Structure 1
Amino acid sequence: MITTTFKLYSLDSNVEPLNDQSVFEAVIPPIQRLKDFSDEEFEEFITEWAAACAKTKYKDVYRIGGAGDKGRDVIAEYETGDFDYYQCKKYSAQLQPSQYWIEFGKLCYFVYKNDIPMPKKYYIIASHDLSKKLRTLLENKENIRNGLIQEWDDKCSKNLIEKKTILLDDSLLEFIKQFDFNIIDTYSMNTIIEEYRHTNYFYFRFGGNIKPQRSIVIEPPTDIESIECRYLDKILAAYSENKKENIDIDKLGQYADLLKDFSSRRQEYYSAESLKRCIRDIFSTESEFEILKDEMFSGISDYIQMEFKDGFDKLKKTMHESTRVNLSISRVDRDLHFVGNVDKKGICHHLANADLINWRTLDE
């Protein structure tokens, strides 16, 4: 049974939020903190915002910024296979038309060459917003068309592709004359920040007191679920070594100590499962849970190679050892303090479910 009172928004992005600890040490207005973002951090921020605030709109949102992005720092994909593009500009002042003709040129040229699909929308995202001149340009899309044609030789021809000159020949010129510049739009930084404020990522980039809470609780169901089979089979094998007879579910009732232990192990597994679901709601992926699993495995891998009396002894002692493993490499433990001892034990069961841990001490 799953009980959830998680009240924050979930995300649809694969991008990892910033791990800048200074956001927890000083209160700085987000618009001011943006000035300290690198180009890469700014693109990641926009990716998070686009994914979080348009999660019902897009199938996926991902960042491809860098050389060869063909004027698309962030791509948002619809279920239909259509795309929106977000082109990010992290400058120290408002974005001017003279700085953007090359991006208009990239959009037209690479669509013309069928290197990229024609987007449904193309958003200009500037850290210091658009200048009055550029906003005026966007108000009348014919001005973009006429300006691009006029500025092509100076701003675009030698700058679209390294060591190559792209002439505005008749075919390309005709394509630009027919191009639908109505797809071009923008968002102000204030709008983006206010929308971003309601996402779980805000706390990690800008600090503040809107801290994600862990409030998903999954209780072990009465009937054993199929997802439990592997780790429970390994536990039963450990019991069998201890009792020197084959212990299955039906025989558990004959041993009070095993029945009590079995119940505890399932509680541990579902505690970690609750943690995994919570992580997925906050970060929209389970990558942070995988970090916890990897770190736990690293922490106990040598220990489980030691000598034990039997599988049950190995299980119990490893559970104790797991509570000593430092998992602060993950922000889930370091910043949110979500991981308790029961979760650590449960993570071991998830490792067993993935066949990374075996409690048996006897050869198969």
Structure 2
Amino acid sequence: MNSFDYTRHILSLNPDDLEILVSKWAKCQTHKYYSVIRPAGSGDRGCDVIGFYSANKFEGDWDNYQCKQYKNTLPTASGMHELGKLLYYAFLSEFTVPKNYYFVAPKGVNRNLRTWILNPTKLKSELLEQWSNFCEATIIKGKKIPLSEELRTFISNYDFSNVSIIDIDHMINDLHFRTILVDLYGGELPKAPNGKVPLEINKSELIYVSKVLDVYSEYDQKKYDRPEDIVGHDDFEDDFIDQRERFYSTEAFRAFYRDNTVEGVLEDFETEIFQGIKPILRLKYSDSFEKMCTVLGEAGKLQPSGKLAIHGKIGVKQGYCHHFANENRLNWRKK
């Protein structure tokens, strides 16, 4: 099997492994979820993978991922049973209704169920009208759950537009899913976007900017307190533009791979960069400008290992020096 044929890998997963994959995917979405759990085993109340938006867990917003690995498309009866089961237990106040309900079905859902999901009003009406077929005798073994007026009202108030499908195409093309697939099966991570340098100095830049200006001040024996002070300087005006470009190249790189790699990948890359420049930082230099230029030059030559090596271009590796300076992990000039 081609190690990068993600479609074949996903379609060959057993149901438990599909849930594990989806759980890892949800955990990668740190910009979205506060925490993720997988209540494995029986009695999951229709919740295979749960993404909580806050520490309030079920008392706040949450998403449900109902994972279905079938030989063929997800049958209508199975899908409606799972949806009805979750809404029934929400009706019993075991949890609130989810913000989003996802059917994760690599082979998709059958045409009938897909049509209903794409028409939320129809999905609601079919669940209510066919409750006796889909849910009444299937939610709890040996017990019937009739559609009481209270339960009907509760289900009617749910927003069925929140129900959607995640199929194989979605999984293959989603950046967060690709992160997990690359980690498990190999391949290359997507490329990070280029950094965009704002015209104005951002508050997040102030520390490294002050350190660069201090380097210039020492070199010229003239105090440069603000970037405006070097406008028109033969050397430093262009050099300062380069330094900011490096900083924002790394800023974009870090932001992208913080959200699109599994835990440890970005951290390991950054550790190798820092370890690579430490010996160069310890050398003696005639002044701090020479030190900064030398260290930046050597940083660009580093060849770190791992999945990010191919994407860590020269400017990104050099920009890390300014991020380390911004985090007070290094200084160009001795005080």
TM-score past 0.5 threshold: yes
> For 2:248, which of 268, 273, 285 is the aligned residue?
273
CA 1:269–1:327 in structure 2 vs 1: closer, same or farther (change >3 Å)? Answer: farther
Offset, 1:348 = 0.9
Distance 2:197 2:299 in 1: 22
Q: Which has the higher contact order (CA 8 A, sep 6+)?
A: 1
User: Structure 1: 5+ residue runs without aligned partners?
Assistant: 1-20, 52-58, 158-167
Instruction: Indicate the RMSD between aligned Cα atoms, in angstroms.
Output: 5.1
- 1:22 pairs with 2:9: no
TM-score between both structures, scaled by the size of structure 2: 0.63
- 3-state DSSP class of the match of 1:154? coil
What are the within-5 Å matches in structure 2 for residues 1-364 of structure 1?
A: 22-23=3-4, 28=5, 31-37=7-13, 38-39=17-18, 40-43=20-23, 60=32, 64-67=36-39, 71=47, 73-75=49-51, 85-92=64-71, 94-95=73-74, 104-109=84-89, 111-119=90-98, 122-130=101-109, 140-141=126-127, 142-144=129-131, 147-154=134-141, 176=151, 178-180=153-155, 183=160, 185=163, 187=165, 189=167, 193=169, 205=181, 216=194, 218=196, 221=199, 226-242=203-219, 246-248=223-225, 260-261=235-236, 263-274=238-249, 276-277=251-252, 280=255, 293-331=270-308, 333-334=309-310, 337=311, 339-362=312-335
Offset, 1:114 = 3.0
- 3-state DSSP class of the match of 1:318? helix
Partner of 2:120: none
Higher alpha-carbon deviation: 281-290 or 86-95: 281-290
- 3-state DSSP class of the match of 1:187? strand
Distance 1:320 1:306 in 2: 14
CA 1:329–1:94 in structure 2 vs 1: closer, same or farther (change >3 Å)? Answer: same
- 3-state DSSP class of the match of 1:117? coil
Distance 1:98 1:214 in 2: 40
User: Structure 2: 5+ residue runs without aligned partners?
Assistant: 54-59, 118-122
- 3-state DSSP class of the match of 2:321? helix
Offset, 1:295 = 3.9
Query: Deviations 1:89-127 (Å, cap 9, x if unpaired)?
Result: 235555565798577434422x13434222365343323
* 2:299–2:317 Cα contact (<8 Å) kept: yes
- 3-state DSSP class of the match of 1:348? helix
- 3-state DSSP class of the match of 1:87? strand
How many positions carry a matched residue from both structures?
A: 300
Offset, 1:74 = 4.8
Partner of 2:57: none
- 3-state DSSP class of the match of 1:85? strand
